[in-house]
Structure 1
Amino acid sequence: MNNDSPGLSMNTAMPLVVVLGIVVVLLVRSRQVRVWEASVVGLFGFYVALTPIGWTVIAVVEWLLGGFLHT
């Protein structure tokens, strides 16, 4: 991804994906969310990313991370 394109940079996206993946694994292991429910949520996320609202979600996440990571 080049610097001119919108969206999360690889340096920001990968840790976020890892953290969210750990949360999903812990929820499935605690039996709060079953495996099929986690799969449906994951598929929903992929399909949302393909729609125009995906750019809005990315912008909100960048805004939130910018506030938390502002130095």
Structure 2
Amino acid sequence: QGLFILLLALIGYLQHFGFIWAITLGICGGLFIWQYGHCNDRQAQHCTESFLHNHKVGMVIFLGLVLSLLFKI
């Protein structure tokens, strides 16, 4: 997940996405930290909830990408 964030940061840097993209990556990092903490006890229910939580990460990235392209701040 850390490599994923780093690669998204590189893409944002190369495409000059700016501040909105940085906020997007911060939110994604927070969601990943929540997922890791939630399934840290290795209970099947918690791991499943963390896995199903990934759609929120995708939604945040999509919205951040759209807003970054629209506003290019």
Q: TM-score range by the shorter chain?
A: 0.3 to 0.5
Identify the structure with the greater helix proportion. Answer: 2
TM-score (norm 1): 0.42
